Amino acid sequence: MKKIETKKIFRLLYIPCIIFLLAFVLNTNSLLSRKTYILVDDKLISVTYDKNKILRDILKEKNIILNQDDIIYYDLDKPVNPDSRVKIIRVKKIKSKASKQSSFRPIWQKTYTSNLRKVELQKGIVKDTYYNLTQIYYDNKFNNFIYDSEKTISKTFYRLLLLKKNNEIEKIYDLSKTKRIKMIATAYYPGDPLAWGDGTVTCLGQKMQRGIVAVDPKVIPLRTRLYISGYGYGYAGDTGSAIIGNRIDLGVNNKQEEQSWMHREVTVYILEKSKTW
């Protein structure tokens, strides 16, 4: 009886044991065939799952070197779960410089209408800001930037505005960027007996008037727009036998005004050549 019962018990246990062993083998094969994936440098690298191997060792085996700034959303000192994906973002930081200039802000201005055309002289401030930047790239794509430092320098200078008859601005000259020459001034007036011809028409055939100035064409080309300190806007439209080198002859209204300009030192700003004043 006991032998028969033992056989029955063995038969009852045999089938579950077989099922358990089969399940264990299948599960082991499944685990061994499962993969983890590492996405780096535009590559998808598959790695056989190993519960006893930490991510740091896996990267070392695959010759994947992490740089100081690289981003990885996984603990390097823990095993990687099966079927998971580990993404490594390559981070590149590039130092660069940039600058920004504020708009011109007038702090003083004056309009002149006595010389040929209406002009406005302005004194103002511009602020230049210089930046040291760090540009950040993720996987060679620009991500953002960081301001490391900045420095602002204020600059005060004069500029001249040429105005149309309706007071619209025709052109702006930054006098801090134009060529300038120190010259000795004299003056002449319409009908001046010492002027070219009868003193009423310039060598270019223009009417002699305040704002027309005589120059040495070797120093200042004819038909050049000028700004002369203390005098105002001028146009190089005439020459003279005594106007040689750094000499300039300023057109004025009369003989009395001529006397006030004789042999005065002036700064002449060379604006540009133009067919008209």
Same domain, 123 and 161: yes
- pLDDT bracket for residue 13 (50, 70, 90): low
Same domain assignment for residues 154 and 189? no
pLDDT band with cut points at 50, 70 and 90 for residue 230: very high
Average pLDDT over residues 26-33: 50
Q: Is residue 25 part of a domain?
A: no
Q: Residue 188 maps to which CATH number?
A: 2.40.40.10
Q: Is the pLDDT of residue 25 over 50?
A: no
Q: Count of domains in the chain?
A: 3
Which pLDDT score, from 0 to 100, does residue 8 have?
Answer: 56
For residue 12, the model assigns a pLDDT of 54
pLDDT at 57: 94
How much is the pLDDT for 225?
98
How would you write the chain as a 3-class SS string?
CHHHHHHHHHHHHHHHHHHHHHHHHHHHHHHHHCEEEEEECCEEEEEECCCCCEHHHHHHHCCCCCCCCCEECCCCCCECCCCCEEEEECEEEEEEEEEEECCCEEEEEEEECCCCCCEEEEEEEEEEEEEEEEEEEECCEEEEEEEEEEEEEEEEEEEEEEECCCCCEEEEEECCCCEEEEEEEEEECCCCCCCCCCCCECCCCCECCECEEECCCCCCCCCEEEEECCCEEEEEEECCCCCCCCEEEEECCCHHHHHHCCCEEEEEEEEEECCCC
Last residue of a domain, which of 89, 123, 154?
89
Pairwise pLDDT comparison (156 vs 4), residue with the higher score:
156
Mean pLDDT for all residues in the chain? 90
Structural domain boundaries, residue 263: 178-273
Judge whether residue 7 has pLDDT over 70: no
pLDDT higher than 90, residue 198: no
Instruction: Of 27-31, 75-79, 84-88, 267-271, give the range with the top mean pLDDT.
Output: 267-271
pLDDT for residue 21: 56
